[in-house]
């Protein structure tokens, strides 16, 4: 199948059925125009990240920016929200896979964040088939028949769609413009916006987005300018696009108000993206010998640095008339174990009760079965109100609050093994094309895999990486445990009737990435280069 490509655009990938509906001349022309206008800025911002990291490695700790004090002290607010985004008690998330889209749309959630990023393995087929799936879903034409012949269709009451493109650090290696790779985020956004924005507007359901992994307000400014150009190209009024920013890096915490300000015409608020946030803290302070976190399970939203970050997000959003969205509970329902299932559901209920009482206007879940619980807890606090912006928090948070990294203990062999096990299991599934994986009764994605390998790396490097039995976590210990955990993962996968072909490779990658002397910035970058 041949494509009519714009001048300067090349695609080095197979064209499967219906891909020509997505990779049209005019859609790719928009992607190319956005690339040519903004790729130099993206590269400059990625370089600025490296330079900032070097300063942190040298001991320079982050703080609020003195040059943007006037923004933090100003009296501005974000633009008014469209009706479809006024009520967001429960938001469900998942990859751009047909069955997942149908189940999420039909879940009863107010909103569905569909994901080209962390919960999606970004091989070529997944990315473009995901575009096909969303076009069908937006037009209410999506259906799916599983291997047993069961048909899934969209019902009449569906969630509001929000779409997450890839972060600034990721390329789309299969598409080049003038010989240069396109940004994964620009590629994802440009295609889905070109094909669907006017249809979404006609239905009163968008276009709405979630923006991941930003580290500064300059990166938010770049998205804002991309939105302006894209709307102008399609003849859509500026401000039609609305986007929620995931505050999932420690540096973005110090610039929440500035990020809202840059996107104020297009803002739909902020979200407390907890798993990537923990990963970000480990990554940014990897060379600080005083920094070392306990087992992943001990880093809850109620420990000091997570608590202050979450409350500050509520304070900032409500001050500026923007939604404050709670982050993900990775717990999922547990079949065939009523006691364990009840414990998991109690954990979800506790999480959403805390967020609602703190002032969040809604929160995320990873499974349709959890939507009623989350909804119930927010209704208890909000009643019939669409939000609780009247709850204005008055705490004054300082850099010390955000950098109070506790607890440092316990670090246990069980916690170490769990990180190795989850990392290998997730990577094996990711390499096989699945980016959203239930493991040990938690829904894991790339963010939790990043935490797993990052904690192992940190415990090896840090003098504080000592198990509760007195043993130091060493490279030798990790290498000894990897084959044992690989065997467990293979047994689990085999029992589920799945192929284990990618798991030896996953174990090798996990070992390399968690024991490399130089900490690899993102786990998925070298993996993406190796995939189709």
Give me the active site residues, please: 164, 445
The pair of three-digit structure tokens given for residue 245, joined into one six-digit string? 């920013």
Q: Is 407 exposed, middle or buried (0-12, 13-18, 19+ CB in 10 A)?
A: middle
The Cα–Cα gap between 276 and 240 comes to 28
Q: Which candidate, 484, 18, 67, 82, places its Cα nearest to that of 268? A: 82
Q: Is 395 exposed, middle or buried (0-12, 13-18, 19+ CB in 10 A)?
A: exposed
Q: What is the C-alpha radius of gyration for the chain, rounded to an integer number of angstroms?
A: 22
Alpha-helix residue ranges (DSSP H) falling in 153-284? 184-202, 217-234, 250-253, 256-262, 274-284
Element (H, E) at 143: strand 143-145
Residues in the chain: 532
| Geometric angle at alpha carbon 274, from 281 and 301, rounded to 5° | 95
Whether a cis peptide bond, with omega within 30° of 0, leads into 410 is yes
The Cα–Cα gap between 292 and 401 comes to 16
For 95, phi then psi, to 5°, come to -70, 170
The pair of three-digit structure tokens given for residue 260, joined into one six-digit string? 């809202």
**Which 3 state secondary structure label does DSSP give 11?**
strand
CB atoms within 10 A of CB 105: 25
- Beta-ladder partners of 153: 143
Q: Which candidate, 316, 182, 188, 347, places its Cα nearest to that of 247? A: 316
The Cα–Cα gap between 205 and 202 comes to 8
The pair of three-digit structure tokens given for residue 229, joined into one six-digit string? 């150009």
Q: Convert 482-501 to b/e letters by CB count within 10 Å (16 or more is b).
A: beebbeebbeebeeeebebe
The Cα–Cα gap between 139 and 26 comes to 20
The Cα–Cα gap between 109 and 104 comes to 8
């Amino acid at each position: 199948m041949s494509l009519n490509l714009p001048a300067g655009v090349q695609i080095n990938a197979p064209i499967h059925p219906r891909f020509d509906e997505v990779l049209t001349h005019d859609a790719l022309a928009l992607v190319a125009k956005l690339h040519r206008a903004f790729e130099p800025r993206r590269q400059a911002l990625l370089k600025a990240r490296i330079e900032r990291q070097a300063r942190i490695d040298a001991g320079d700790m982050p703080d609020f920016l003195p040059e943007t004090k006037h923004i933090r002290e100003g009296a501005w607010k974000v633009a008014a929200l469209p009706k479809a985004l006024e009520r967001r008690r429960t938001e469900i998330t998942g990859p751009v896979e047909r069955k997942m889209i149908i189940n999420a749309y039909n879940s009863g959630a107010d909103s569905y964040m569909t994901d080209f990023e962390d919960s999606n393995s970004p091989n070529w087929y997944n990315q473009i088939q995901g575009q096909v799936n969303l076009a069908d879903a937006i037009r209410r034409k999506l259906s799916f028949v599983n291997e047993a012949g069961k048909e899934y269709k969209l019902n009449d009451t569906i969630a509001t769609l929000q779409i997450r493109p890839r972060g600034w650090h990721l390329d789309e290696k299969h598409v080049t413009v003038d010989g240069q790779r396109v940004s994964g985020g620009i590629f994802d956004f440009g295609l889905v916006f070109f094909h669907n924005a006017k249809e979404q507007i006609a239905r009163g359901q968008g276009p709405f987005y979630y923006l991941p992994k930003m580290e500064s307000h300059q990166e938010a400014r770049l998205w804002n300018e991309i939105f302006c150009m894209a709307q102008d190209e399609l003849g859509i009024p500026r401000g039609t696009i609305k986007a929620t920013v995931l505050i999932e890096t420690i540096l973005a915490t110090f610039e929440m108000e500035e990020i809202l300000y840059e996107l104020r015409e297009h803002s739909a608020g902020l979200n407390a993206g907890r798993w990537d946030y923990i990963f970000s803290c480990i990554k940014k302070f990897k060379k600080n010998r005083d920094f070392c976190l306990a087992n992943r399970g001990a880093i809850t939203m109620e420990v000091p640095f997570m608590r202050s970050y979450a409350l500050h997000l509520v304070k900032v959003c409500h001050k500026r008339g923007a939604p404050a969205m709670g982050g993900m509970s990775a717990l999922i329902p547990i079949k065939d174990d009523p006691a364990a299932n009840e414990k998991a559901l109690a954990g979800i209920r506790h999480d959403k009760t805390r967020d609602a009482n703190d002032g969040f206007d809604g929160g995320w879940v990873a499974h349709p079965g959890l939507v009623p619980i989350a909804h119930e807890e927010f209704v208890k606090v909000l009643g019939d109100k669409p939000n609780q912006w009247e709850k204005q928090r008055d705490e004054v948070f300082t850099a010390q609050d955000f950098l109070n990294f506790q607890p440092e203990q316990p670090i246990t062999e069980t916690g170490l093994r769990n990180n190795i096990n989850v990392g290998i299991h997730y990577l094996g599934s990711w390499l096989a094309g699945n980016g959203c994986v239930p493991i040990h009764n938690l829904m894991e994605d790339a963010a939790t895999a990043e935490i797993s390998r990052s904690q192992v790396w940190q415990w090896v490097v840090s003098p504080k990486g000592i198990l509760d039995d007195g043993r130091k976590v060493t490279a030798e210990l990790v290498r000894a445990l990897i084959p044992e955990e690989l065997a467990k993962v293979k047994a689990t996968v085999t029992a589920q009737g799945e192929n284990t072909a990618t798991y030896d490779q996953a174990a090798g990658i996990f070992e390399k990435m968690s024991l490399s002397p130089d900490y690899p910035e993102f786990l998925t970058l070298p993996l993406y280069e190796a995939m189709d």
